[in-house]
Amino acid sequence: MTPIALTIAGSDSSGGAGIQADLKTFAALGVYGASVITALTAQNTAGVSGIHQVPGEFITAQIDAVFSDLDVGAVKIGMVAQPASIDAIVAGITRWSPKHVVLDPVMVATSGDRLLAADAVEALRKKLIPLAAVITPNLPEAAALLDEPVAASEAAVADQGKRLLAMGCRAVLIKGGHGQGAESVDYLIDANGTIVLAAPRVATRNTHGTGCSLSSAIAAGLAKGEAMETAIRNAKAWISAAIAAADRFSVGRGHGPVHHFHKYY
């Protein structure tokens, strides 16, 4: 059986994040990738210059086309910029009941550009998070979901994770890439407690699409039948290597992409 993962996210015209990064991740990890596009962005390594929303009814059409034909093992949800998009996705996920949903609550691009409308945040909290097997906010996104300052200690991160868990998802992975120190520390919080996942922090500006790619790597692992903790550990090891290899590329004048195919060239 061919493992299949579906990404529901926005398109990045520069190829480093969004749908493009997700499909590269799936391919790099031996999973067939399908896609539902929620928005078109005009962006490059320096920033986002425009966003064109895909109507909710066409998001629905894409979801139904994929699920009616493909045996989807896991779904990764990324950029959902407006309430209509969230409603269409929630209805589709409820209708087709995929086994695993990985939600990356994309709010701000690496460049600092805001990607999520303010009126969509509450819909994300109330409607989409309860459907997720795991959500993967970074430190600023976790704080934004809770309307709080960014957590500055391990205890504060764990506390925020527990309160995000209470929104209805089964696990929370708070990513520490925005933190400081020699290690990039992520925190996996679920009903059993908190697991600390550390990796050496890589000094590179080429981090465009890191969050998209990590959440997609988790979905790829789940689609292949891995347990949640195993999928997350493997995904973190893979993205750490992709970041470490990012400087092999010379792409753009801003935050360049990670090297999704670092194992191959």
Q: Which residues of 10-40 are buried (b: 16+ CB within 10 A; e: fewer)?
A: bbbebbbbbbbbbbbbbebbebbbbbbbbbb
Catalytic annotation, pick one of 10, 92, 177, 209: 209
Which secondary-structure segment (H or E) carries 212?
Answer: helix 210-223
Selecting among 92, 211, 221, 256, the annotated active-site residue is: 211
Asked about 212 being catalytic, the answer comes back as yes
Q: Please say if 225 is a catalytic residue.
A: no
The residue from 24, 76, 175, 236 that is catalytic is 175
Check 210, 221, 236, 256 and give the catalytic one: 210
Active site residue 252: no
Residue 173's nearest CA partner among 207, 214, 213, 124 is: 214
CB 187 within 8 Å of CB 149: no
Ramachandran angles phi, psi of 144, nearest 5°: -65, -40
Which one of 207, 221, 236, 256 is the catalytic residue?
A: 207
Residue from 89, 83, 109 nearest 101 by CA: 89
15, 73, 212, 221: the active-site residue: 212
Active site residue 204: no
Looking only at the bridges linking them, the beta strands covering 183-190 and 193-200 are antiparallel
- Which residues are catalytically annotated? 175, 207, 209-212
